[in-house]
């Protein structure tokens, strides 16, 4: 196996018979003797292909005097040596580059070039072995230096090949070799995993709890890269990070301001701490997508009114909120002006927590400048009013790290200082004394990958591919309309119809907009106040931005304003078909579905999605029998679907959704919040002490919920522990009743409803409620 790759960007033909070509071939042979692969690129296109595909590049040798190809005067000069040096610097941090010279005139080189390269090569003036030796030595030094602190220490420790006298008991995997099933397990994962699964007794690697040694170095390196004052590695996902921050920031009977569009782990943090939540309501659009908290909702007067109107506030430990938490970006890719949010919350709370589970890449691309928690600091928000800011990130979700890896970033402010020793007590409560070291290493490596220009390169690639897909979807619709030989294209993408170049004022249709404009200009993605395409109201200029890598596909049947059409294709039918093509989407709502363009995206991957959408349309246009489109669903429920076609199923389901007003009921249920009765922690006590029971919807009116109810779509809590379920004809029970009816009528397409049980005989929804005989005790305590 090669140690790494060295790029030769040279105009010479490697098979040529000149003395220069012969000498370069000898240099290549000497390099290969040392175990390195050589990639020889004669032109810029080949060299750029190497940069895109060869992440193991360890050094480069670039000819300065490359022939300049003929090109129009207006065409940018991106094919010469200077352009290649810039691209190498953008793609690889501190990559050693040697400049191959044809003469002795170094003084004619631009100063920045002299500062960029590590040396010069005159191929005919030294021996091939000497030149190759310089290249190889620089490459090996780079490959060692590129390793971040903990991963480097872990590799060095593994290379010592010492016996293990500590836990875990498998002792580097040896125990697995003593059993057939264990041997199969060992062979599947390989020895390296088990040799790196170590005990905290290994002092050379540091301590996760004490934040010392290479682990501490890795956390400090992550703080630098992610722009934090302090960073903590969390090994049980962003859910644990959220519970940790909530547990630290707010204590028993204190008030917490909570974005209703929150993850369930935020609620769990409130249960652990005993806090009293005051919920803030995000806006929603006609598709049923949750938007941001409107600016007016988080201003001091509005927050004070929310607190005053909340029954739980009357017995709070103090009249003001100690903590605010909101989701950024939202599940559908809406991200805030973080500084504006911090300024708005500042009069109401000293601590603001951005749950950025899906947004760890934000710091590394200019589209997201100022839209992530760690952008709030003394430079952007000077003065004594700045709150302490926490950011919790699920590193594995959209960066390259192992599952369950997460980070807590923080930037303390003088008004709410965070002493490490105190926060670390909370950290240890939610951590483990038996960490899996490969997960720590993956956090360290994810940090290293984002360090410097390479972080921007990686995110920009994902942004670029997302934009290409978005534009391809619009162009496909335009192409079908222009040809006029088939029914119109009916899928869309939730995005602006047109964008403006702020530099020139020129207005572009989205499909025709220059890709460079879309990938570099944030204003193209901002939600303009009252714009029809997004459907949200009460936003201010620049307050919210749509993240281009979170792509929401729209199906016909409803628009962003909530107007339903006579016919439609519910998204659940589409995603069921996509699953037969091994395409699993992130989230499905009534008429939209979300796909993510992460760093692992390729043209082939999104091309497969586009092909599947095209095939679905063809099947719908032909009114194909459902048994040919969704054979597994028909096989499971033959009496319901055996005689149906795809078009008939879509029509029946759309008619049901329109008749039931499900999207409208959803909006009402999320905007008209249930009345809080008791704090969540008290309901949890009843839950674990037998003080709750499961109740059918028909019997649930007026009861107190004991568990959170979250419906997917849209994946947001509709009911929290301690809240009243409300009247029989109230918004919550009407909405849940409509979902229950849908699930009965369309088996195989049911909603994913967390916190709701299903009676196996009747299919009735069951909600966990506080027992009647415990309610009065709860209300009086």
Q: Say how far apart CA 742 and CA 657 lie, in whole Å.
A: 8
| Neighbouring-strand partners of residue 592 | 554
Q: Say how far apart CA 526 and CA 371 lie, in whole Å.
A: 11
For the segment 303-313, what is each residue's pLDDT rounded down to a tens digit? 999 999 999 99
> Is it the case that residue 78 has pLDDT exceeding 80?
no
> Is it the case that residue 473 has pLDDT exceeding 50?
yes
Q: For position 1, what pLDDT does the model report? A: 46
Q: Say how far apart CA 126 and CA 119 lie, in whole Å.
A: 14
Q: How confident is the model at residue 74 (pLDDT cuts 50, 70, 90)?
A: very low
Nearest in space to 543 (alpha carbons), one of 525, 555, 561: 525
Q: Say how far apart CA 538 and CA 536 lie, in whole Å.
A: 7
For the segment 80-119, what is each residue's pLDDT rounded down to a tens digit? 888 889 999 888 989 999 999 877 678 788 888 888 899 9
Q: Say how far apart CA 371 and CA 36 lie, in whole Å.
A: 42
- DSSP 8-class letter at 212: B
Helix H or strand E segment including 41: strand 37-41
Q: Say how far apart CA 627 and CA 644 lie, in whole Å.
A: 8
Q: Say how far apart CA 283 and CA 36 lie, in whole Å.
A: 56
Q: What is the pTM of this model?
A: 0.92
Nearest in space to 656 (alpha carbons), one of 557, 510, 731: 557
Q: How confident is the model at residue 781 (pLDDT cuts 50, 70, 90)?
A: low
Mean pLDDT (the chain, rounded): 92
For the segment 322-350, what is each residue's pLDDT rounded down to a tens digit? 999 999 999 899 999 999 999 999 999 99
How are the residues of the chain apportioned to helix, strand and coil, as percentages rounded to the nearest 5?
45, 15, 40
For the segment 670-689, what is each residue's pLDDT rounded down to a tens digit? 888 999 999 999 999 999 99
Q: For position 13, what pLDDT does the model report? A: 82
For the segment 182-195, what is each residue's pLDDT rounded down to a tens digit? 999 999 999 999 99
User: How many Cβ atoms are within 10 Å of 201's Cβ, its own excluded?
Assistant: 10
Nearest in space to 600 (alpha carbons), one of 738, 718, 459: 459
For the segment 369-422, what is each residue's pLDDT rounded down to a tens digit? 999 999 999 999 999 999 999 999 999 999 999 999 999 999 999 999 999 999
Helix H or strand E segment including 62: strand 57-63
Q: Say how far apart CA 717 and CA 261 lie, in whole Å.
A: 7
What mean pLDDT comes out for the span 618-636?
97
Q: For position 715, what pLDDT does the model report? A: 62
For the segment 195-224, what is each residue's pLDDT rounded down to a tens digit? 999 888 788 999 999 999 999 999 999 999
Backbone angles phi, psi at 128, to 5 degrees: -55, -40
For the segment 732-769, what is each residue's pLDDT rounded down to a tens digit? 999 999 999 999 999 999 888 888 999 888 889 999 99
């Amino acid at each position: 196996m090669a140690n790494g790759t060295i790029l030769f960007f040279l105009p010479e033909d490697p098979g040529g018979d000149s003395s220069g070509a012969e000498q370069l071939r000898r240099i290549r042979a000497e390099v290969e003797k040392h175990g390195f692969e050589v990639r020889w690129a004669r032109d810029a296109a080949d060299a750029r292909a190497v940069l895109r595909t060869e992440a193991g590049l360890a050094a480069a040798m670039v000819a300065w005097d490359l022939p300049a190809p003929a090109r129009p005067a207006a065409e940018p000069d991106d094919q010469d040596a200077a352009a290649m040096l810039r691209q190498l610097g953008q793609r690889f941090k501190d990559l050693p580059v040697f400049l191959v010279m044809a003469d002795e005139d170094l003084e004619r080189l631009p100063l920045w070039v002299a500062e960029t390269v590590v040396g010069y090569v005159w191929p005919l003036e030294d021996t091939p072995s000497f030149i190759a030796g310089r290249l190889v030595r620089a490459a090996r030094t780079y490959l060692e230096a590129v390793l971040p602190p903990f991963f480097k220490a872990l590799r060095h420790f593994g290379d010592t090949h010492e016996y293990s006298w500590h836990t875990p008991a498998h002792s580097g995997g040896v125990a697995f070799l003593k059993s057939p099933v264990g041997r199969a397990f060992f062979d599947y994962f390989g020895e390296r995993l088990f040799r790196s699964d170590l005990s905290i007794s290994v002092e050379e690697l540091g301590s996760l709890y004490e934040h010392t040694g290479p682990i501490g170095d890795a956390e400090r390196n992550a703080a630098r890269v992610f722009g934090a004052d302090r960073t903590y590695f969390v090994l049980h996902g962003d859910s644990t990070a959220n519970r940790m921050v909530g547990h630290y920031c707010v204590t028993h009977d204190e008030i917490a301001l909570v974005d209703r569009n929150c993850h369930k782990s935020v609620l769990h943090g409130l249960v652990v701490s005993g806090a009293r939540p005051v919920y803030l309501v995000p806006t929603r659009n006609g598709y049923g997508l949750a938007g941001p908290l409107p600016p007016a909702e988080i201003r001091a007067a509005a927050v004070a009114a929310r607190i005053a109107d909340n029954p739980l506030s009357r017995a709070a430990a103090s009249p003001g909120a100690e903590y605010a938490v909101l989701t950024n970006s939202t599940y559908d890719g809406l991200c805030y002006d973080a500084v504006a949010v911090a300024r708005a919350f500042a009069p109401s709370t000293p601590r603001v927590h951005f749950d950025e589970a899906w947004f760890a890449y934000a710091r590394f691309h200019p589209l997201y400048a100022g839209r992530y928690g760690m952008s709030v600091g003394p430079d952007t928000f000077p003065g004594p009013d700045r709150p302490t800011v926490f950011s919790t990130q699920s590193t594995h979700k959209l960066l390259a790290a192992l599952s369950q890896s997460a980070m807590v970033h923080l930037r303390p402010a003088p008004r709410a200082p965070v002493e490490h020793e105190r926060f670390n007590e909370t950290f240890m409560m939610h951590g483990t004394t038996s960490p899996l070291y490969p997960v720590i290493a993956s956090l360290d490596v994810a940090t290293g990958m984002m360090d410097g220009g390479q972080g921007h390169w990686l995110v920009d690639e994902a942004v670029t591919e997302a934009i290409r897909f978005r534009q391809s979807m619009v162009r496909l619709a335009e192409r079908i309309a222009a040809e006029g030989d088939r029914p119109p294209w009916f899928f869309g993408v939730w995005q602006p119809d047109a964008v403006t170049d702020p530099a020139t004022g020129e207005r572009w249709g989205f499909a025709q907009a220059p890709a460079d404009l879309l990938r570099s200009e944030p204003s193209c993605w901002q939600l303009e106040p009252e714009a029809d395409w997004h459907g949200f109201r009460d936003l201010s200029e620049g307050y919210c931005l749509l993240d281009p890598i979170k792509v929401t596909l729209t199906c016909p049947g409803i628009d962003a304003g909530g107007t339903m059409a006579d016919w439609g294709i519910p998204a659940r039918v589409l995603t069921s078909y996509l699953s037969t093509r091994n395409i699993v989407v992130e989230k499905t709502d009534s008429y939209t579905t979300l796909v993510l363009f992460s760093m692992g995206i390729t043209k082939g991957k999104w091309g497969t999605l586009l092909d599947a959408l095209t095939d679905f349309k063809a099947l719908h246009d032909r009114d194909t029998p459902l048994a040919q489109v969704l054979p597994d669903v028909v096989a499971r429920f033959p009496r319901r679907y055996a005689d149906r076609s795809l078009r008939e199923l879509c029509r029946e389901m759309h008619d049901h959704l329109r008749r039931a007003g499900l999207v409208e009921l959803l909006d009402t249920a999320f905007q008209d919040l249930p009345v809080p009765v008791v704090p969540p922690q008290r309901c949890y006590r009843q839950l674990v002490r037998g003080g709750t029971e499961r109740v059918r919807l028909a019997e649930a009116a007026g009861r107190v919920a004991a568990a959170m109810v979250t419906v997917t779509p849209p994946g947001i809590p509709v009911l929290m522990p301690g809240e009243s379920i409300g009247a029989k004809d109230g918004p919550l029970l009407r909405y849940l009743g409509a979902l229950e009816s849908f699930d009965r009528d369309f088996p195989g397409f049911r909603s994913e409803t967390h916190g709701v049980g299903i009676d196996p005989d009747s299919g009735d929804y069951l909600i966990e409620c506080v027992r009647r005989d415990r309610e009065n005790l709860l209300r009086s305590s």
